[in-house]
Amino acid sequence: MLLVNTVRDQFDRVLEGLQKRNFVEAEGLLNQVIDLDDKRKTTQTQRDQLQAEANSISKEIGQLMREGKKEEAEKIKNKTAELKLEIKSLDEANASAEEELKALLYTIPNVPHISVPFGKSAEDNETVLEYGAIPTLFEGNLPHWELIKKYDIIDFDLGVKITGAGFPVYKGKGARLQRALINFFLDEALKAGFVEVQPPILVNEESGYATGQLPDKEGQMYHATADNLYLIPTAEVPITNLYRDVILTEEELPIKNVGYTPCFRREAGSWGAHVRGLNRLHQFDKVEIVQITHPEHSYQALEEMSTYVQGLLKKLELPYRVLRLCGGDMGFTSSLTYDMEVFSAAQGRWLEVSSVSNFETYQSNRLKLRFKDSEKKTQLAHSLNGSALALPRIVAALLENNQTPDGIMMPKVLHPYLGFEKI
């Protein structure tokens, strides 16, 4: 969440940034933040003054007792009791104001980086680069939802029987392709200096709030109501929460973690070919990379993460493009996001396979994730994350782009992981 001091000291910059998001309530909510903070500060000042008065009276009582003036001491003890009640009332009012302020800040998204373009939707995103040749397929080529039936490698009907729509069953070489991709992505991340973790796939409410999924995406998460736990929409949530309420040393930065998890999202979108087959699922596999960095180095880290993800796509021999998301298409918590999209030849369109984002201090303020700098001063770290990679659309593009009349060829980099070269 935004820092109150940032809202106060950089009001115009914050307002201008939120206007990039087309966040029409921005000015009113920012003014409410300042008003609530003023109220909190006034209450705190009153409380501190009463506490100082109470402390002074306590000293006076002690002095009178030492001088044997018990009767005089008893007379002013009542005043101390009254002050304690007033202080308690002000403490309660202050706690209420702080909760109200925090709840308000939860509704305000992150301020976009200066490089984020204005725009209302995905059509306004900026293309940073394109790489690779678009494959030309043979006549009679099929989209992946037909290929998986032809080669019996993924079964949506079985998933519907067992669970419901959006929960596919991977079979035979389809299951082996999933496992191969997961292991390939993890191995590549380890080579790049990331430390692997295997986090829980259920998180508590505090973890959801700490990384910004709650309250923003509450309706999109599967909620185990009996225990008030949430199935994770991405490994970003548990991995970043490893550092909640932690004070790091500057020497520990950057922290680089990678983790594989299944991911769960209730929203499945509208009907149509653009969400057919593997294009959008309720459950899918993903390898996630997370970094905790010094604020001065976070944008360099973001560029390095973007380059790293692009390297994976090159090794998989997939044509791709990189987009800088406009203000209207960015995630709630992000300051700057790059999307990587691969071209799906049989569908004739681009499919998003990764988002790499810098959150600056937005998550770390919620997390209370800090570090001590060289002068032993404590400050908030920056957090970043990215998909490296999400499997469903990668699989869709691999199947469609590499199909031949005789089968589907697999990229060479996966051969050692698969144990086969063709489906």
* Binding residue ranges for ATP: 265-267, 352-355
Residue 238 preceded by cis peptide, ω within 30: no
Classify strands 247-249 and 370-372 as parallel, antiparallel or unpaired.
parallel
* 143 three-class SS: coil
Structural contact between residues 385 and 240, judged by C-beta atoms closer than 8 angstroms:
yes
CA distances from 215 to 55, 205, 218, 317 (A): 42, 10, 5, 39
CA distance 278 to 285: 11
Burial readout 258-271 (b: 16 or more C-beta within 10 A, e: otherwise)? bbbbebbbeeeeee
Nearest CA among 242, 190, 319, 306 for reference residue 182: 190
**Which residues belong to the annotated binding site?**
234, 265-267, 288, 352-355, 385
Residue 262 preceded by cis peptide, ω within 30: no
CA distance 264 to 32: 35
CA distance 243 to 256: 12
Measure the CA dihedral 268/269/275/280, to 10°.
-30
**Which residues belong to the annotated binding site for L-serine?**
234, 265, 288, 385
What secondary structure does DSSP assign to 184-247, as a single string? HHHHHHHHTTPEE----SEEEHHHHHHHT-TTTTGGGS-EETTTTEEE-SSTHHHHHGGGTT-E
